[in-house]
Amino acid sequence: MGLSSSERVVLDATLMVTPAADAGLALQLGAGQIRVFARLADDHVRAPTVLLVRADRNTDPAAHVEMPVSAAGESINVDLTGGVYAVRLHVNAPVPDNATLADVAHVAQFVELRITFAAR
């Protein structure tokens, strides 16, 4: 994915997501557009994984996104009015009610997440 001259990389990482704790970030961004790309880095754990983007306190309702994350990868462009935005990954792997942290670590998903931003 090449960047245009007006885009900057906000995040380019592989995140570990477990059922016990969503991986999440809060990003302060101005008015513009973000491009979010998410892909499962491995798919040995069969569990639905979801990416959510939303404005803090729903201050930018049009920026609310919920998309599945697959091994093929998913991408979306989102127009922002500016403010604080939550980016969260959630995996819904089945674990027993009495699961320990060690049990949960065995159903972790690794998600490649790349976020770029172009200001208006």
Give tens-digit pLDDT for 33-57. Answer: 999 999 999 877 778 899 999 999 9
Instruction: Kindly state whether residue 41 falls inside one of the protein's structural domains.
Output: yes
Q: What is the pLDDT of residue 108?
A: 82
Percent of the chain scoring above 70 in pLDDT:
95
CA dist 83 and 95 (Å) reads 36
Once rounded to an integer, what is the mean pLDDT over residues 106-119? 92
Q: What is the pLDDT of residue 113?
A: 97
Residue type at position 73: G
Instruction: Kindly state whether residue 1 falls inside one of the protein's structural domains.
Output: no
Domain of 18: which CATH number? 2.60.120.680
Looking at the 3D structure of the chain, how many domains does it have? 1
Q: For residue 20, what are the domain limits?
A: 7-119
Percent of the chain scoring above 90 in pLDDT:
64
Residue with the larger pLDDT of the pair 95 and 17: 17
Compute φ and ψ for 58, nearest 5 degrees: 55, 35
| Residues 6 or more apart in contact with residue 69 via CB below 8 angstroms | 38, 39, 40, 49, 50, 51, 89, 109, 111
Q: What is the pLDDT of residue 2?
A: 66
**What's the pTM value of the predicted model, to 2 decimals?**
0.85
Instruction: Kindly state whether residue 2 falls inside one of the protein's structural domains.
Output: no
Instruction: Kindly state whether residue 54 falls inside one of the protein's structural domains.
Output: yes
